């Protein structure tokens, strides 16, 4: 069974610092890995998708890396802003487009 | 495009009642799935579908039924609600082309409270 772990569960950083969120998974037989953002009481918004053949993906201040062989991904958010405060979810896609999720990194950016 | 829509947004049920959570997408996606999100448990897969007429169980299927008669709709039925089914339910859809799995799109969620 695919297990996805996110560390740390919660973190607070001062505005302007870079954020580093970690995700690990137990089975390297994945199609891709997605990072989502979830605001309190809201749905999930896809931030980045990395195909299993890729090593990283970038969008604006966000950069995500994938090391499939070691079962790890890292999401970097440069120059954090208070608007980045949210929960970030890592999910891997396996057979039939099913997702296995981590429990999330709850981020607070302090002004 | 409306994307993935879910109704209702919020529902209160009594134990033993039944209800259907609606999910629809207008992106002609083949794959649709239902997840529940509980504090401390993350999101867990309930049921999924790879196309009209084809469904299968996920990680936590007990107490739920699904069917997929059209590409657009994927309703989730609670047969006899229990307090353990109090949760936030998310529907998702995605498209798969040339073997690559594409971005998953999520609906806004349905908050269910079972008393």
Yes or no: say if B30 and A86 are a contact pair by the CB < 8 Å rule.
no
pLDDT of B100: 54
Pairwise CB contact (< 8 Å): A49 & B33: no
Do A43 and B33 make contact, defined as CB atoms within 8 angstroms? no
Residue of chain A with shortest Cα separation from B49: A96
Nearest chain A Cα distance for residue B59, angstroms:
10
Count CA within 13 A, CB hemisphere, residue B55: 22
- Residues of A within 8 A of B100 (CB-CB) are 31-32, 51
Structure tokens at A85: 């405060």
What is the rounded CA–CA span in Å between residue A33 and residue A79? Answer: 23
| Integer Cα distance of B48 and A12 in angstroms | 36
Q: What is the pLDDT of residue A16?
A: 97
Distances (CA, A) of B69 to A39, B54, B73, B98: 33, 9, 7, 25
Of B48, B101, B103, the CB nearest to A46: B103
- DSSP strand pairing (A105-110 vs A10-14): parallel
Query: Rounded to 5 degrees, what are φ and ψ at A97?
Result: 60, 25
- Chain A residues whose CB is inside 8 A of the B56 CB are 96
Q: What backbone torsions phi and psi does residue A83 show, to the nearest 5 degrees?
A: -65, -10
Q: What is the DSSP letter of B73?
A: B
pLDDT at B97: 57
Among A32, A44, A104, whose Cβ lies nearest the Cβ of B90?
Answer: A44
Q: What is the pLDDT of residues B37-56, one digit of tens each?
A: 998 888 999 999 999 999 99
A13-17, A38-42, A59-63, B7-11: range with lowest mean pLDDT: A38-42
Closest in A31, A42, A102 to B101, CB measured: A31
Weakest mean pLDDT among A1-5, A84-88, B60-64? A1-5
Q: Give the sign of the dihedral formed by CA B27, CA B28, CA B31, CA B33.
A: positive
């Amino acid at each position: 069974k695919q297990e996805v772990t996110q560390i740390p569960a919660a973190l607070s950083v001062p505005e302007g610092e870079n954020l580093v969120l970690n995700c690990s998974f137990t089975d390297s037989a994945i199609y891709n890995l997605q990072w989502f953002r979830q605001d309190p009481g809201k749905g999930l918004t896809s931030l980045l998708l990395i195909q299993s053949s890729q090593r990283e993906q970038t969008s604006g201040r966000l950069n995500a890396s994938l090391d499939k062989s070691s079962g790890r991904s890292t999401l970097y958010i440069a120059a954090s802003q208070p608007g980045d405060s949210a929960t970030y979810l890592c999910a891997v896609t396996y057979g039939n487009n099913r997702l296995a999720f981590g429990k999330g990194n709850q981020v607070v950016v302090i002004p | 495009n409306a994307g993935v829509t879910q109704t209702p947004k919020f529902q209160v049920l009594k134990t033993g009642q039944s209800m259907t959570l609606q999910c629809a997408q207008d992106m002609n996606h083949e794959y649709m799935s239902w997840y529940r999100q509980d504090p401390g448990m993350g999101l867990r897969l309930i049921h999924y579908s790879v196309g009209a007429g084809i469904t299968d169980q996920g990680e936590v299927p007990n107490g739920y039924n699904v069917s997929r008669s059209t590409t657009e709709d994927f309703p989730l039925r609670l047969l006899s609600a229990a307090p353990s089914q109090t949760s936030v339910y998310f529907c998702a859809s995605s498209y798969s082309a040339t073997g690559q799995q594409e971005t998953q799109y999520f609906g806004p969620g349905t908050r269910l409270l079972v008393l």
